[in-house]
Structure 1
Amino acid sequence: MNSRPTSDPAPDRGGLLGKLMAAVRPEFRVDVLVPELGTLIFNTTPCLVRGCVHQPRTRQLCRGHYRRWQQDGRPDLDTFVATTPPSLVGRKDLTACAVEGCRYGAARQGLCVRHHGFWDRAGKPDLATWLANQSAVRHEEQPVCHLAFCTLWAQGSSPFCLNHKSRWYAAGQPDIEEFTAQCESRGDDRFDFRPLNDARQVKLELQYAVQCRHDERQINTASSVVNVAVRLAALSEATSLLDWPIERWAEFYGHRVAKHDQNGQLAFLRYAHEHVEDLQVGGGWETEFPRDVWRLHRLGIDGRARLRFDRIPQPWLRNLTKRFVRWRLSIGRSVNQAVIDVLALTRFAGFLARPEVTATQPADLGRPLLERYLADLTLDTRAVHSRNRDIASLNAFFYAVRRHEWDPALPANAMFYPDDFAKTEKRLPRGLAEQVMAQVEQPANLDRWRAPEGRLLTLILMRCGLRVGDATKIALECVIRDADGAPYLRYFNNKMKREALVPIDEELDQQIAEQQRRVLQRWPDGTRWLFPAPRKNPDGARQLTTHSYRGQLNDWLQRCDVRDEHGRPVHLTPHQWRHTFATRLINRDVPQEVVQVLLDHSSGEMTAHYARLHDSTVRRHWEKARKVNARGESVTLSPDGPLAEASWAKQRLGRVTQALPNGFCGLPVQKTCPHANACLTCPMFVTTPEFLPQHHQQRQQVLQIMSTAEARGQLRLVEMNQQVLGNLDRIITALEEGDSSQKPEAAADAS
Structure 2
Amino acid sequence: MTREHRPHLRPAGGEDPLCRLWQELPSLWRGPIIGPGIAEWASVTENRDGKIILTGLPDPFPAELAWMAHWQAQDGTRSSVLAINQLANIVRWAIRQGHPFPASIRAMDWETASALQGWFYATRWHRLPNKGVRGRLRALFRFARQALIVRCHEGAWWELDYWHPRCDPRIPLSAREPLANLGCSPGQITQPWVRSAVKWCLGTMLEAGTLRWTTVSQERLKCLHRFDTWLTECLENPAEVLGEPAKAAEQAAAFRRWVADPRNRMRGGTDQRHLGKPVHPRLVNDDLRAVAELFAFIAANRGEARTVLGASPWDRVSEVHAASWFGQVTRIPHSKAFNDEHYVDDHALAQIPAALPLLGLPRDQQMPITRGDGQQLMAGGMDDPQTMRMILLQILTGRRASEIRTCAFDCLSPVPDRALDAVEGEQIARFHYAQSKIDIAPDTILVDREVVEVIEEQQHWVRDRFPDLTPRFLFVQRTGNRRGDKPYASGTYNWMLREFSDLVQITDSKNRPVKLSHTHRFRHTKLTRLAELGLPVHVLQRYAGHATPTMTMHYIAAREEHAEQAFLATVKLKADGTRVQFSREDHDSMHLFDRADRFLPNGWCLLPPLQSCDKGNACLTCSVFATDESHHPALQRQLTETEELIARNSAAFEQRHGRSMPEDNVWLAQRRAEHAALTRLLAAMQDNPGRAVQGAGCGTAPAGPVPLTLDLTRHQRTQP
TM-score band w.r.t. shorter chain = 0.5 to 0.7
SS of the aligned residue for 1:526 comes to: coil
Task: Give the drift of 1:568.
Answer: 9.1
1:596 alignment partner AA: Q
Render the CA deviation track for 1:34-85: whole Å, top value 9, x for unaligned: 3668656579xxxxxxxxxxx8x8xxxxxxxxxxxxxxxxxxxxxxxxxxxx
Would you say 1:606 and 2:603 are equivalent positions? no
Whether 1:492 and 2:364 are equivalent positions in the alignment is: no
Counterpart residue identity of residue 337, structure 1:
T
**Using a 3 Å threshold, how does the CA distance of structure 1 residues 540 and 307 change in structure 2: closer, same or farther?**
same
Report the CA distance shift for 1:547/1:344 in structure 2 as closer, same or farther (over 3 A). Answer: closer
Q: Counterpart amino acid of 1:604?
A: P
Distance 1:7 1:429, change over 3 A: same
Report deviation, 1:404: 4.4
Mapping for residues 102-501 of structure 1, pairs under 5 Å: 188-194=49-55, 197=56, 199-218=58-77, 220-237=78-95, 240-242=104-106, 244-257=108-121, 258-260=128-130, 261-269=133-141, 273-282=145-154, 286-290=155-159, 297-298=167-168, 300-301=170-171, 303=181, 305-308=183-186, 311=189, 313=191, 315=193, 318-332=195-209, 333-339=211-217, 340-348=219-227, 364=243, 366=245, 368-380=247-259, 381-382=261-262, 383=279, 384-404=281-301, 406=303, 410-414=317-321, 415=323, 416=325, 420-421=329-330, 423=332, 426=335, 428-441=340-353, 445=357, 453-484=386-417, 486-497=428-439, 498-501=441-444
Partner of 2:483: 539
Name the CA distance, whole Å, in 2 between partners of 1:575 and 1:294.
28
Q: Is the 8 A contact 1:311 1:346 kept in 2?
A: yes
TM (norm. structure 1) is: 0.57
- Contact 1:377–1:387 (8 Å) recurs in 2: yes
Return the letter of the residue paired with 1:369: A
Q: Give 1:334 shift.
A: 2.1
1:621 deviates by 2.3
Pairwise CA RMSD of aligned residues?
4.4
CA, structure 1 residues 304+622, in 2 after alignment: closer, same or farther (shift >3 Å)?
closer
CA shift for structure 1 position 206:
1.8
- Give the whole-Å Cα distance in 2 for the aligned partners of 1:33 and 1:471: 40
| CA distance, structure 2, for counterparts of residue 25 and residue 313 of structure 1 | 43
Q: Secondary structure at the match of 1:413?
A: helix
- 1:696 corresponds in structure 2 to none
Change (3 A) 1:424 1:535: farther
Q: Secondary structure at the match of 2:488?
A: coil
> Relative to structure 1, is the Cα distance of residues 419 and 234 closer, same or farther in structure 2, using a 3 angstrom cutoff?
closer
The change in CA–CA distance for 1:561 and 1:309 in structure 2 (over 3 A counts) is closer
Counterpart residue number, 1:30: 31
For residues 33 and 538 of structure 2, what CA distance do their matches in structure 1 show? 66
Q: 1:611 to 1:404 in 2, by over 3 A?
A: same
The question of whether the paired residues in 2 share the 8 Å contact of 1:583 and 1:611 is answered with yes
- Total equivalences in the alignment: 503
How far apart are 1:465 and its partner, in Å?
0.5
> Judging changes above 3 Å, is the alpha-carbon distance between structure 1 residues 365 and 542 closer, same or farther for their aligned structure 2 residues?
farther
1:651-694 per-residue CA deviation (whole Å, 9 max, x = no partner) reads 8xx86xxxxxx669xxxxxxxxxxxxxxxxxxxxxx985799xx
Q: Secondary structure at the match of 2:416?
A: coil
**Rounded Cα–Cα distance in structure 1 between residues aligned with 2:113 and 2:282:** 41
Equivalent position of 2:5 in the other structure: 8
Q: Does 1:549 align with 2:427?
A: no
TM-score in terms of structure 2 length: 0.59
User: Amino acid of the residue matched to residue 8 of structure 1?
Assistant: H
Q: Tell me, what secondary structure is at the counterpart of 1:619? A: helix
Distance in 2, matches of 1:279 and 1:405, equals 31
Counterpart secondary structure, 2:433: strand
**Pair 1:736–1:462, CA change in 2 (3 A):** farther
The 1:10/1:293 distance shift into structure 2, 3 A limit, reads: closer
Paired with 1:348 and 1:235, the residues of 2 have a C-alpha distance of 44
- Deviations along 1:541-593, one digit per CA (max 9) or x if unpaired, are 11122333345556766887856558898641232221221222223233333
Does structure 2 retain, via aligned residues, the 8 Å contact 1:435–1:564?
A: yes
Provide closer, same or farther for how the CA distance between residues 505 and 269 of structure 1 changes in structure 2, counting only shifts above 3 A: closer
Shift in Å, 1:25: 2.8
Letter in 1 for 2:535: V
Deviations 1:439-483 (A, max 9, x none): 334599599655665454333211110111110111122223433
Q: Distance in 2 between matches of 1:259 and 1:227?
A: 15
Asked if the contact 1:213/1:221 (under 8 Å) is kept, the reply is yes
Distance in 1 of aligned mates of 2:340 and 2:472: 37
Structure 2 distance, partners of 1:737, 1:445, is 62
1:233 CA drift (Å): 1.4
Check conservation: 1:30, 1:193, Cα contact below 8 A: yes
Q: Please report how far the alpha carbon of residue 375 of structure 1 lies from its aligned counterpart in structure 2 after TM superposition.
A: 3.8
In the aligned structure 2, how far is the partner of 1:550 from the partner of 1:349?
Answer: 28
The alignment partner of 1:503 has SS state of strand
Instruction: Give, in angstroms, the shift of residue 388 of structure 1.
Output: 0.7
The amino acid across from 2:285 in the alignment is N
* Counterpart Cα distance in 2 of 1:303 and 1:376: 31
Distance 1:421 1:233 in 2: 56
**How far apart, in 2, do the equivalents of 1:222 and 1:589 lie?**
57
CA distance in 2, matches of 1:444, 1:323: 46
Pair 1:529 & 2:473 matched? yes
User: The residue matched to 1:493 in structure 2 has which SS?
Assistant: coil
Q: Name whichever of 607-616 and 415-424 sits farther off.
A: 415-424
1:126 equivalent in structure 2: none
Which piece of structure 1 moves more, 495-504 or 268-277? Answer: 268-277
Q: Is the 8 A contact 1:40 1:222 kept in 2?
A: no
Q: Unaligned regions of 5+ residues in structure 1, if any? A: 44-54, 58-186, 638-650, 656-661, 665-686, 693-732, 739-751
- Report SS of the residue matched to 1:598: helix
Q: Which amino acid aligns with 1:334?
A: R
CA shift for structure 1 position 492: 2.6
Please, which runs of 5 or more residues in structure 2 have no aligned partner?
96-100, 122-127, 172-179, 263-278, 306-314, 362-382, 421-427, 594-701, 708-720
Q: Which amino acid aligns with 2:213?
A: V
Corresponding position of 1:504: 447
Counterparts of 2:26 and 2:395, CA distance in 1: 49
Alpha-carbon offset, residue 616 of structure 1? 3.1
What amino acid maps onto 1:389 in structure 2? Answer: D
1:686-719 superposed Cα distances (whole Å, 9 cap, x missing partner):
x985799xxxxxxxxxxxxxxxxxxxxxxxxxxx
Task: Assess if the C-alpha contact under 8 Å between 2:524 and 2:557 holds in 1.
Answer: no
Q: Distance in 2 between matches of 1:689 and 1:489?
A: 34
CA distance in 2, matches of 1:519, 1:597: 30
8 A Cα contact 2:459 2:474, kept in partner: yes
Q: Distance in 1 between matches of 2:139 and 2:20?
A: 23
1:385 CA drift (Å): 2.5
d(CA) in 2 for partners of 1:361 and 1:616?
52
Match of 2:539 in 1: 594
Task: Report the structure number with the largest CA radius of gyration.
Answer: 1
Query: 1:329: Cα distance to partner?
Result: 0.7
